[in-house]
Amino acid sequence: MSIFNPNEYVFCRLALNIVFVLFVCSSLVCSEQRVGDKVNVQVHNSLAPNKKLNIHCKSADDDLGFHQLSYNQKFSWHFRINWLASTLFWCRVGWRDNHGIYVEGSYNIYDYDRDCMRCDKIEWPSIYVPVNGLAYICEWHVQEDGLYIFHPYRKLPSERMFTWTKHLGIQNKTIQTKA
């Protein structure tokens, strides 16, 4: 009696082929960035000369730490697209407005599904691509009316991607609740 069942073999082979085709098709959804490509993200403080920007960025795997940026300073990092093409970085950003009120929000700064066609492609030679190859740059500017993504290499207009969430108008006060 044989342990090998030809029907099970055909079924397993067919299932593997279907999974492979689905994987290939899903990676074609974004024809620009691919798994393993290098991405450079920059966040610029474009608020005003006297305003500091607080920023703390993370992914599921990395905590990039807290940074305070003066006007026209930038915080940048790079990474490679993960093998599931699901790379996501989010940042909590905040600053004080002209009335001393702290304005803040948490935003997805790099989301593969959204940004795989939006970020600019940079080809060698470049400071972002030290050897032959290519990389992508996502350049963000934090302004008083929201967060903008810029396209300096494609000469496209900037896009306001996020506006500031409503804040409570708290000025260094403690919120008291009724007991």
Here the CATH number for the domain that contains residue 129 is 2.60.40
Any domain includes 176: no
Any domain includes 2: no
- Is residue 52 within a helix (H) or strand (E), and if so which, with residue range? none
Strand ranges inside the chain, DSSP E: 38-45, 53-59, 63-69, 74-80, 88-96, 102-111, 120-123, 134-143, 146-151, 156-162
- Give me the mean pLDDT over the 30-56 stretch: 85
Any domain includes 177: no
Query: How sure is the predictor about 5, in pLDDT bands with cuts at 50, 70 and 90?
Result: low
Any domain includes 158: yes
Any domain includes 11: no
User: Is pTM beyond 0.75 here?
Assistant: no
Q: Is the pLDDT higher at 21 or at 169?
A: 169
Any domain includes 106: yes
Which structural domain, as residue segments, surrounds residue 59? 38-162
| Averaged confidence pLDDT in the chain | 78
At residue 164, what is the residue type? W
What does the pLDDT read at residue 105?
Answer: 95
At 44-94, the pLDDT tens digits run 999 999 999 999 999 999 999 999 999 999 999 998 888 888 889 999 999
Cis peptide before 125 (omega within 30 of 0): yes
**C-alpha triplet 158, 162, 164: angle, nearest 5°:** 125
Q: Is the pLDDT higher at 29 or at 39?
A: 39
The count of residues in the chain is: 179
Q: Is the pLDDT higher at 25 or at 145?
A: 145
- Give me the mean pLDDT over the 129-154 stretch: 81
Any domain includes 48: yes
The rounded distance, in Å, linking the Cα atoms of 120 and 135 is 8
Query: How sure is the predictor about 134, in pLDDT bands with cuts at 50, 70 and 90?
Result: low
Domain count, the chain: 1
The rounded distance, in Å, linking the Cα atoms of 23 and 106 is 31
